[in-house]
Amino acid sequence: MKLLRLIGGVVAVALLATPAARAATDIQFWHAMDGALGDQLKVIVDRFNESQKQYRVVPVYKGSYDETLSAGLAAQAAGKGPHILQVYEVGTANMMAAKPAVKPVHQLMREAGERHDPSAFVPVVASFYSDARGNLFSLPFNTSTAVLYVNRDALKAAGKAQAPLKTWYQLQEALLEVREKDPHNCGLTTTWPSWVMLENTLAWHNEEFASRNNGYDGLDARLTFNTRLAIRHVSLMTAWTKGRIFSYSGRRDEGEARFTKGECAMLTASSASYANITRNAKFGFAVLPLPHYDDINQAPYHTLIGGASLWALSGKSAAEQKGVAKLFAFLSQPEVQAEWHQQTGYLPLTRAAYDLTKKSGFYDRNPGTDVALRELLNKGAPQPYSRGIRLGNHLMIRAIVDEELEQAFAGSKAPMLALGDAVKRGNDLLRRFERANRAPAQQEEESRLASQKK
């Protein structure tokens, strides 16, 4: 009998414990971060899970940004989408157009009763992910911009350790010396060529990429990036390719690996490459501002933001949405933002996070880690052409630009012709996006105006 009573007691305790064990609500978080960035994301998510018992966020790596976006939207269309989807900045216009699939952050936080202050974020970042009324549609999370990485050891060996590297022609002089010293060094390479070499180069010199305020002011925007500056820059890179001081590595992060291995003396890439370079490089390196042309528009102005934001998807229960809101509130805390910035190279997205980082002496101990922020804050408020680029089908437009740049770098197409063809082909995609989304947009605006009259 005692044994039976003991077994019964254990069963009773187990039964009582079962509801508690099942109380945690799972929140699926699909993302595109691997390597050092993925490791740091897990650290932060684990800390959130340990801070409370109601929710368990489950981070799931879904591949590249392209693959993550495609997988998330396909799953959402089938009624099996994640609670949170990380979407890179070129997908912003498409996500805003896919309104039934999205739960705007400002609504999510209000309905969940969580604190929400969009003014706490860096203005250029908050405005990019907001609608015309200033309402955040997604949560700014990992924001970067284009910078220059330099292998100090390679420059020292070439006698260029103290060489100024502010302009492209100063880079050219240093790269020629590196090439003379080490014929096997690839010179300069880049990641994300369309973003770095075209989009950021134009913004850095305050030139437009597309009409209608780079797409912010309407679906009828047209690409205009085949400018004198763009032709000049692509022509320079083409000449450098022939002179073997620029080496094309691929459309994504392939150039980062080559720089980290010591194959190339310089790299233009995202500020977020800092984490992997710090982990893997066996040489001293420096982070510098993106080079510019000092005879155009009194440049430099501002570079563009890259990276991604977090989107809450619709069709979830109130309890699940509250869990998403709690995670978003946690990620917005200055301490969390500061740690994320310091460990990854992504920007501090709030002034409070920047102040914490500066006060800790991080920038003094790690020179160059504030370069990205200084680029975005250069010359005060961003100009219309450096606020960002918000175009439908931007991902496919980038693919077209990359394809045309590849032909220019290979010498199979003149830079002017390549850029002109990229504009023509890209505009066809914009018109397709406009036709697909203008009617819903017009209906929404008419409904908004009608409600205002009431």
Same domain, 123 and 260: no
At residue 210, the 3 state secondary structure works out as strand
Query: Tokens 């350790």 label which residue?
Result: 161
Same domain, 294 and 318: no
Give CA–CA dist 149/256, Å, rounded: 10
Same domain, 332 and 289: no
Question: Is residue 451 one of the residues assigned to a domain?
Answer: no
What is the per-residue pLDDT for 98? 86
Supply the angle between the helices 394-409 and 228-242 in degrees, to the nearest 10.
Answer: 50
Among residues 364, 379, 400, which one ends one of the domains?
364
Q: Quick one: which H or E segment has residue 42? A: helix 35-51
Q: What is the mean pLDDT of each run of 10 residues along the chain (454 residues)?
A: 45 45 85 94 97 96 94 94 96 89 95 89 87 90 96 97 96 98 97 97 96 93 98 98 98 96 97 92 97 95 93 96 97 95 91 94 93 88 83 95 98 98 98 86 51 50
Same domain, 252 and 349: no
Same domain, 351 and 397: no
Same domain, 317 and 427: no
Same domain, 358 and 301: no
Same domain, 286 and 424: yes
| Degrees to nearest 5, angle at CA 274 with 273 and 276 | 70
Question: Is residue 448 one of the residues assigned to a domain?
Answer: no
Residue 294: CB atoms within 10 A of its CB come to 13
Reported pTM: 0.85
Same domain, 405 and 260: yes
* Contact yes or no for 179/244 (Cβ under 8 A): yes
Beta strands in 178-313 (DSSP E): 188-190, 266-270, 285-289, 306-313
Q: What is the CATH number of the domain that holds 99?
A: 3.40.190.10
What is the per-residue pLDDT for 74? 94
Same domain, 172 and 94: no
Q: How far is CA 53 from CA 46, 326, 384, 417, in A?
A: 12, 12, 45, 59
Question: Is residue 310 one of the residues assigned to a domain?
Answer: yes
Give CA–CA dist 29/292, Å, rounded: 38
Number of domains in the chain: 2
What is the per-residue pLDDT for 377? 84
Question: Is residue 247 one of the residues assigned to a domain?
Answer: yes
Indicate the burial class of 8 (C-beta count within 10 angstroms; 0-12, 13-18, 19 or more): exposed
Among residues 128, 306, 307, the alpha carbon closest in space to that of 216 is found at 128
Question: Is residue 383 one of the residues assigned to a domain?
Answer: no
* Contact yes or no for 346/340 (Cβ under 8 A): yes
Give CA–CA dist 102/39, Å, rounded: 27
- Cα 288 to chain centroid distance, Å, stands at 19
* Domain range for 219: 146-305+388-437
* Contact yes or no for 162/289 (Cβ under 8 A): no
**DSSP symbol at 312:** E
Asked if residue 82 has a cis previous peptide bond (ω within 30° of 0), the answer is no
Question: Is residue 214 one of the residues assigned to a domain?
Answer: yes
Same domain, 295 and 353: no
Question: Is residue 1 one of the residues assigned to a domain?
Answer: no
At residue 345, the 3 state secondary structure works out as coil
Question: Is residue 132 one of the residues assigned to a domain?
Answer: yes
What is the per-residue pLDDT for 383? 76
At residue 207, the 3 state secondary structure works out as coil
